A and B are shown apart, each in its own frame.
Chain A
Amino acid sequence: MAFLPRQALRPSHFLRLRQVVHRRVFNVRYLSGSAPLGNSNAESKVGKEQGTQATSKTTHFGFKDVPEYEKEELVREVFSSVAKSYDVMNDVMSFGVHRLWKDHFVAKLDPGRRPGGEPLSILDVAGGTGDIAFRMLDWASDIHNDHQSKVLVVDINDDMLKEGHKRSLTTRYADGSRIEFKVQNAEFLDAVPDNSQDLYTVAFGIRNFTNIPAALRAAHRILKPGGVFACLEFSKVNVGILDMIYQQYSFNIIPLMGQLVAADRDSYQYLVESIARFPSQKEFAGMIKDAGFEISGDGYEDLTFGVAAIHTGVKV
């Protein structure tokens, strides 16, 4: 795992962050404004949008309703502004647990060429910084001794992809023969041919998509028959008392930490709002089914009481 040491917190991280904080903490930009707390028919709009493939002209951006054509740009802005401090913030917010989730996600998918099989083509969507891609390549190389399987990392955000590319240069995949970065909209995936991929992964990305059903249909289009759609995403905590604590933490602490550590309260306010707006485990499993995938059992696995969940579906 050549890239792992890079992810650990190092003094230089703090130095850079301190500079950022000094520069920006007293001059906070308000990207999306404060959340309109009275927007209580937001929930019904989600239902409408999922049911009728977004015939309405607005979609949600956190708890705000924005015109559809704006959301893409807004999400791009959020991730451009967090790209540099993305990993540090993930560690701070989740106490490092996101690494365990990602490791488990990859172990569960167990990607790699097996004796008598073919090398895999893996598409990692919204995987800008390459977190999942590197883990999968490491797994394939170290566990299956597979040095041929490839990952195509796509993201709508060029800044995130640049971070990923920069990182890839310090790994054993620096020559770019096994990993490729491309700017793509997950709802269309124009550059990916039909029936071409073995595995489609999206980790902590799908809730930011403007039109999730369209993205699921695109996933179905590009997978080979038998190919697996796998999604790691924040979900709903399934124990009442823990949910209460979790909600308090995510709405009160995370935006504050975003302000202090990354000097960007709005982006983190958006992150927690988008988590709260994302459908529950069961609803999302239903959406995966509606896109034409087959699921096994409930189709998902809860991680840490449902703070995150892994959903899988297979194209048959």
Chain B
Amino acid sequence: MYLTSATIFVHNFKMPSSVIVRRMPAHLSKATFCRLRRRSYHSYDHLPYNPYTPSQEKILSSALKHVPEYGFVKQSLVQGCRDAGYLDTTHAVFQDGVFDLVKFHLYTERNKLAALKQQIDEEEGKSIGKRIRRYCTERLKANEPIISKWTEAIAIMGLPQNIPQSLEELAKLSDEIWFLVDNKTSDFDWYTKRASLAAVYSSTELYMTQDNSPRFEKTYKFLDRRLAVVQNAGSSISNMASWASFTCFASINLLQSQFSRG
């Protein structure tokens, strides 16, 4: 498909027989792949992929402490670099700038949920609805210290170049919660459950930025209402589906019997 003289030349498609295997660059060695490659599935045998080095974690977590004061701006990032003992210029290493700070918040808070699993399992019992609600409230609580600046973060996440990564992070949060409530569904529900939880969570988060009630009571009531709607809708849809399948099979049977009679 690309067989023009220039590209053959550039990519060196014609290798002489003496060169049998092209050496893999050191940083792409097999060991590195096993250690660091992102997995598209959950593995109990490997440590989860951590995109941050210890020094970056130090910088970004110190930077988050400055967010209530400065907001999601470069100033917080620079302060974080200073607090972590680096230079003002160090911030330039973060390819996405302030969006890296937002992503770090989303990433760390999402990963903290797994540590609560045992406690939540004990306190909330077996009800999936209750446990989901608990994970949502725990995750929303993590936004409380920075909620006054969270609209800035939402604006940054909504920039065209950042939308794919932001949506991916939302999907991961929804997936994490469904995973933590031990939901092992493998049919089309898998998608609808994740999509509806993502919709509930993101709308609640948006509500929370405008909530002035003490201890965000209104937000948690809002969450309850959203969850109830989804549950009702979910049960209506499944009722609807069973009614439709019953009617469909019944009509087929009726027709069959009509035809067999002749």
Seen from chain A, the residues whose Cβ lies within 8 Å of a Cβ on chain B are 37, 40-44, 47-48, 50-51, 63, 108-111, 113-114, 116-118, 120, 198-199, 224-228, 230, 240, 243-244, 247-248, 251-252, 276, 282-283, 285-287, 289-290, 294-301, 310, 312-314, 316
B22 touching A43 by the CB < 8 A rule?
A: yes
Known contacts A109-B92, A114-B78, A240-B2: does B10 contact A276 (CB below 8 Å)? yes
Chain A positions within 8 Å of B88 at CB level: 113-114, 117-118, 120, 198
Q: Which listed residue, B15, B89, B93, touches A295 by the CB 8 Å rule?
A: B93
B87 touching A226 by the CB < 8 A rule?
A: yes
A289 touching B92 by the CB < 8 A rule?
A: no
Seen from chain B, the residues whose Cβ lies within 8 Å of a Cβ on chain A are 1-2, 4, 6-7, 9-10, 12, 14-16, 18-19, 22-23, 25-28, 51-53, 55-56, 74, 78, 81-82, 85-97, 100
Chain B positions within 8 Å of A226 at CB level: 81, 85-87, 89-90
B55 touching A286 by the CB < 8 A rule?
A: no
Q: How far is the CB of A178 from chain B (nearest CB, A)?
A: 17
A286-B26, A294-B56 given; name 8 further pairs at CB < 8 Å: A41-B15, A110-B91, A117-B88, A199-B92, A224-B87, A226-B86, A228-B92, A283-B27
B19 touching A294 by the CB < 8 A rule?
A: no
Identify the interface centre among B4, B18, B27: most chain A CB within 10 Å of its CB: B27
B22 touching A44 by the CB < 8 A rule?
A: yes
Report Cα–Cα, A116/B15, bound state, in Å.
Answer: 57
B6 touching A251 by the CB < 8 A rule?
A: yes
Q: How far is the CB of B248 from chain A (nearest CB, A)?
A: 46
**8 interchain residue pairs of minimum CB distance:** A286-B27, A226-B86, A226-B87, A314-B93, A43-B12, A226-B90, A47-B23, A117-B88
Chain B positions within 8 Å of A118 at CB level: 88
Q: How far is the CB of B19 from chain A (nearest CB, A)?
A: 5
Chain B positions within 8 Å of A63 at CB level: 9
Identify the interface centre among B1, B6, B14, B51: most chain A CB within 10 Å of its CB: B6
Report Cα–Cα, A37/B13, bound state, in Å.
Answer: 12
CB-nearest residue of chain B relative to A279? B25
Q: How far is the CB of B168 from chain A (nearest CB, A)?
A: 13
Report Cα–Cα, A264/B195, bound state, in Å.
Answer: 60
CB-nearest residue of chain A relative to B2? A244
Known contacts A294-B93, A299-B95: does B100 contact A41 (CB below 8 Å)? no
Report Cα–Cα, A300/B81, bound state, in Å.
Answer: 20
Known contacts A226-B86, A294-B53: does B74 contact A110 (CB below 8 Å)? yes
A40 touching B16 by the CB < 8 A rule?
A: yes
A228 touching B89 by the CB < 8 A rule?
A: yes
Report Cα–Cα, A198/B82, bound state, in Å.
Answer: 13
Q: How far is the CB of A211 from chain B (nearest CB, A)?
A: 16
Chain B positions within 8 Å of A295 at CB level: 93
Q: How far is the CB of A135 from chain B (nearest CB, A)?
A: 14
